[in-house]
Structure 1
Amino acid sequence: MRSLTRMGMRYAMRSLVVIAGVVAAAGSGAVMPANACACGGVVSADSSARVNNESAVLGWDGRRETVLMRLGMQFTGADAALIVPTPTPATVSAASPDSFGELSRMTAPERVTEYDWFGSGSLGGDASGSAPGSGPDVLSQVRLGPLEATTLRGGDLTGVREWLDTNGYRLKPEVSATLDPYLREGWSFVAMRLTSAEPLSGALDPVRLTFDSDRLVYPMRMSAAATTPQSVHLYVFSDRRVARVDPDIEPQTITTEFASPVSEPSDPDLKALAASGNYLTELSIYIPDPATITSDFLLGPAAENAPVRDRVVSKEYVEILGLPAGYVLIVAGLSLIGVIASVVLRRRSARWSERTATRLSGGSCRRAGSRGEVLKRRARVR
């Protein structure tokens, strides 16, 4: 009889922030406080837009970077939107939800069964009044289901903020201020917003961003506008295990959750990402104080290339008649040894007795024979 008990390591849900800034669609009245998230905040006119989870997988072929991003949102009021900085103008297109399902299977914990024969010890901001600025160039605009995505390039902070306000976006001052370093460095932006007023709860179909880059980078500087601790999960395809190499490593907690070569994916998007390297790394990052963020995440080769994978241990308690089988078998084995020893000893004792009797019988015959010879000799003498 076997009783089964599952003892598994908690395998956390993947929650990844890909975005560098979240904005809200314009509405009348003041902007409400932002909901905390690793991208600086989610804002809406009625404070109803919330990002429940964000997931993404990254790949870089040495020249061009690809980001697959999926948002899980809860939304009941005004349009919500977000901004993603990219080093160069990005091409935005729809991605497949199947990519994330296969990614989850790839990084699932290793399942191991252990048999326990002995039990466990128990049996039972506002831009008004500012000078006119240089507005951005609109390079493209696409509709992706309930999302509208616009790729912007150039302009200064005042001009970009005016464009966003005119086109239905409103940024909090502390969030818009984080755009300035990117603009001065010549970065571009993808502005995305929900266009439907219908209530929404759940995951949106993923979005694919592709852009030229001379390094594998994950925009994070806009997250400095956040006011609560942030958590980030990154999945990265490369030719080997990767790690953070930017100057913000020290004040943050970075854990490698998964690192291993993976078999060729069946999903087209993942297959394209793995074409330049099938080594998949998952990093879990905790930022206790977002105000300390000074750099984007930069990713490069890790110092070591050893694989890392969580394990889920299934433990089976093996029992015989309701008792731990190990102890039962030990007792049975000792009893069997005792029986065998007893039989052996009895046989040896019987053999010894038989040999002793034989020796005694043989000695008596020899003595009787000797006595007869003596009598015969005496008779001859007479």
Structure 2
Amino acid sequence: MQAAEILGKLVGFRSVVGLPNNDVVSWIRGYLESHGIAVDVLPGPEGDRSNIFATIGPKEARGYIISGHMDVVPAAETGWTSDPFRLRVEADRLYGRGTTDMKGFLAAVLAAVPKLAAMPLRRPLHLALSYDEEAGCRGVPHMIARLPELCRQPLGAIIGEPTGMRAIRAHKGKAAARLTVRGRSGHSSRPDQGLNAIHGVAGVLTQAVAEADRLVGGPFEHVFEPPYSSLQIGTVKGGQAVNIIPDSCEVEFEARAISGVDPAELLAPVRKTAEALTTLGFEVEWQELSAYPALSLEPDAPLAALLEELTGREALPAVSYGTEAGLFQRAGIDAIICGPGDIGRAHKPDEYILIDELMACRAMVEALGARCTA
């Protein structure tokens, strides 16, 4: 099957983040097994979605991981000019949810499988396909934890997020959390009888803004834009009417961290201020929504040199968005980002990828396979 045909199959599966993914997992498993590839389906703790791990070549040797996620963001935004879950072909563009982020990469890799399976590989290529990446990389940690039983220590991992087929060596880490504060409702004419949850949260918001302002002063890592860690208040929800004392308020925070900084630690002062509200009679709940570490691969790393050779282009130092690559690196596996498409097309109506981009990615994967025959 050609990459475009495979992409049409993948786009047709509504594998939206946070929902069951058995249909897309079953199709990919069947496709790989039809080419003689042994597949491990690894259910997550949710019970209704799974990761996939498959090996092409000798399991006893050290090889490379080719990694991508099977989930996509929802397609509820206005502006789509066709069904987002049905591939539309116009000239050299392939439209549909996930074409760029990142089912296009999966399609290119799967299209290369027949050729890879026929190669006399001396080093294996492992396909590591995850779920719920779009919810903060929730699925891949369960697969990474099982790698010691699935393969020998990999030589490196290539994460196929859209980079225009330019290798990327670094990205920031991220942590997100939801704070829920509960007070006591009542009529606004008797504030003495209620406990205003929004008033309680006000001090937490002030703390968050202060932390955000402090981070602007460094430390710095100039490969990033901006070159410092950041913190923001993303959403605030609370209250029913102006004359009702609000009994609850919900706030979501996000922190993005440069290399060497734990993004969850950036939120720690905010959490401490929030939890102190219990002394005033409020109920406080702090829920971690997502967390993944930064990626930082040295310029002279063998994996960076390999990707530069395979793509014919110099690796770029960093991108502003996050990926699963940092989690592989934290597990002791060198990781790099390289895939087809442009991140600027992702998460938008009429998301698309170019046929030439799929072909370039397939060629890169097949070239990697050829390297693994030496």
Return the TM-score normalized by structure 2.
Answer: 0.21
- Kindly indicate which of the two structures has a greater share of residues assigned to strand: 1
User: Considering only CA atoms, is the larger Rg found in Structure 1 or Structure 2?
Assistant: 1
- Kindly indicate which of the two structures has a greater share of residues assigned to helix: 2
Return the TM-score normalized by structure 1.
Answer: 0.21
